[in-house]
Amino acid sequence: MDAIKIFAPATIANVSCGFDVLGLCLDAVGDEMIISKTAEKGVKISKIVGQNLPLETENNVAGVAVLALLEKYGEVDCGFDIEIYKKIKPGSGIGSSAASSAGAVYGVNKLLGEPFTLSELIPFAMEGERLASGNAHADNVAPALLGGFTLVRSYDPLDVIKLHSPSELYATVIHPKIEIKTADSRAVLKDTVSLKQTVTQLGNLGGLISGLYSEDYNLIGRSLQDVIVEPLRSVLIPNFDKVKEFAKEAGALGGSISGSGPSIFALSKGKETAEKVAIAMAKAYENLDIEFDTYVSKLNPEGNKIID
């Protein structure tokens, strides 16, 4: 195999009560990438379509992720060419940089004959996140690489768990086209939380994970409550409360901020409900002078995949 075309999925990090630990993989939204072996050694980003992003390998998240992989792999008798067809908008909060870096290492690993497991690819993709945000987090690259729901149990050592995901779970995402500066989304967080809030969050995270394994959609819904981060960050997103309220009225199990925003997600049982939720979320934005996109996606159980 000398070339590969892949679908590189969007992802939701900070899933409600699972701030900094819980992520999930989408299926209906993602980039496409074509990765080819080249006679000339080195890693080249030859084309980026759809967004204005750096082509220099060392300044591109996909580039640095692949360089990290090759650094670990050792001598290789070819080079790699990467074309990126961006469909996920950077800054939307659904893992745009993670899609590129996870997709790139997935593709190069395939072309090398899969010397690394999917889990072993996570640290390489995290180097892309380090370039994008200054923080080598795994919240988005983990679900992009493993699919389904993932839990980052620990960073030291890195320990990422793929959780069981109920088959009828759908996500609806609304992306209001506003910019939230990373500095602002960090500044609103507090360094300390009350022990009481922590216990509440632990209860809900425990309930959510139990609900995922037992496929108890009602329990998943009851547990989708974030008492720590959502109250602080949601003020940066216009009509956040209204979107959530309308989504629930339309049948959503619950929802929260996707990543650090501005996108908002809701989870639903079944496609039909998820589509109604998309209409309800859009309704919450109809009187605002803000453009938005909505997406409906089933949970993607496998992450990156080869297409064509």
Q: Give which of 254, 188, 248 is closest to 224, Cα–Cα.
A: 254
How far, in Å, are 127, 236, 249, 251 from residue 268 at the CA level? Answer: 33, 24, 12, 7
Binds a copy of itself by CB under 8 A, chosen from 114, 177, 198, 306: 198
Stretch that binds a copy of itself, among 199-207, 274-282, 285-293, 298-306 (CB under 8 A): 199-207
Q: Is the dihedral of CA 75, 44, 28, 129 positive or negative?
A: positive
With contacts defined by CB under 8 A, name the span among 41-49, 71-79, 179-187, 203-211 that binds a copy of itself: 203-211
When binding is defined by CB under 8 A, the residue of 6, 13, 17, 284 that contacts a copy of itself is 17
Considering 57, 83, 168, 182, which one is annotated as catalytic?
Answer: 182
Contact 125, 141 (CB under 8 A): yes
To the query of whether residue 182 is one of the catalytic residues in this protein, the response is yes
Q: Is 294 a catalytic residue?
A: no
Q: Compute the least distance from the CB of residue 155 to a copy of itself, in Å.
A: 9
Please tell me the number of Cα atoms within 13 Å of 68 on its side-chain side. 25
Residues between 219 and 238 that touch a copy of itself (CB under 8 A)? 219, 222-223, 228
Subset of residues 156 to 175 that bind a copy of itself, contact rule: CB under 8 A: 159, 161, 163-164
State how far the Cα of 261 lies from the Cα of 251, in Å rounded to an integer.
Answer: 22
**72: helix, coil or strand?**
helix
Adjacency order of strands within the sheet including 254-257: 254-257, 264-269, 169-176, 292-298
Q: Which stretch binds a copy of itself (CB under 8 A): 172-180, 191-199, 256-264, 290-298?
A: 191-199
Binding site for a copy of itself (CB under 8 A): 17-22, 151-154, 159, 161, 163-164, 189-195, 197-207, 209-210, 213-214, 219, 222-223, 228
| Enzyme catalytic residues | 129, 182
